[in-house]
Amino acid sequence: MFLKILVPLDGSEVAECVLPHVQALASGSEDAAVNFIYVVAPLDTPMIDPKYKKMIEADAKASAGDYLRKLIAKSGLKSKAKATIVLGKVADTIVDYSSKNKMDLIVMATHGRSGVNR
């Protein structure tokens, strides 16, 4: 039984294709909790003023929060879901977050690439 489900999202339709599967998994237990996570990659541009870098990153985090709130509202998982926005390297941050929070399952889509791009 998966009680703690982590769902990394990036705002794309491809990432959201997992939502029906998440709903099915979460409905299997009253105790299931779904954590939608959006990782904002830090700006690694040495030419940008640190003040503007922080402003841009804060704006990206705010946009991510708005996105996740709307997604949770329409997901049908409102009582079981929470949103987390983190700044960091995407893959490393997802793995670290999952480990620290003892997640049972990570549900995520592929990049949606096929053929040579895959």
- pLDDT, tens digit, for every residue of 80-92? 899 999 999 999 9
What pLDDT score does 118 carry? 52
Q: What Cα–Cα distance (Å) separates residue 115 from each residue in 50, 108, 112, 118?
A: 40, 20, 10, 6
User: Is the pTM of the predicted complex or chain greater than 0.75?
Assistant: yes
Sketch the domain layout of the chain as residue ranges.
Answer: 4-109
Question: Considering the domain 4-109 in this protein, what is its CATH number?
Answer: 3.40.50.620
